[in-house]
Amino acid sequence: MFSKIKAIQDLKTQANTIKKALAEETIEGQGGWGKVKITMDGNQEVKAVVIDSEIVGDKAKLESAVKEAVNDTVKKVQRVMASKMSQMGGLNIPGMGK
């Protein structure tokens, strides 16, 4: 029983270590040919949104560019997350193998 508790504590420690490392990452995505830029950290928290004034007047283009920028950024963040977890050995879940 104590070994399971220790394994859970170790897993929580590994998860926190990875979360802290990801918080230090900065990833930028863009949409609308660079007219909208979104910056996220590795935990997918939006840190900045930059919108070119040229696109502000066209609601449909702005909405499309924001969607494109968010999707671009999330894909890049997911790649960084996978890479970081791989570098750090991933989460060693007992009984699940690697």
The CA-atom distances, in angstroms, between 9 and each of 3, 14, 96 are 10, 9, 16
In this prediction, residue 42 carries a pLDDT of 92
- DSSP assignment string, 34-50: TTEEEEEETTS-EEEEE
Per-residue model confidence as pLDDT tens digits over 50-72: 999 999 999 999 999 999 999 99
For residue 98, the model assigns a pLDDT of 45
Q: Which residue has tokens 């590994």?
A: 14
Total length of the chain: 98
Q: How far is CA 52 from CA 32, 34, 36, 38, 43, in A?
A: 10, 8, 6, 12, 26
Place of tokens 């007219």: 35
Give the pLDDT band of residue 85 (cuts 50, 70, 90).
confident
Domains along the chain with CATH numbers: 2-87 (3.30.1310.10)
Q: Report pTM.
A: 0.77
Cβ-contact 33, 49 below 8 angstroms: no
Residue among 55, 82, 77, 75 nearest 66 (CA): 55
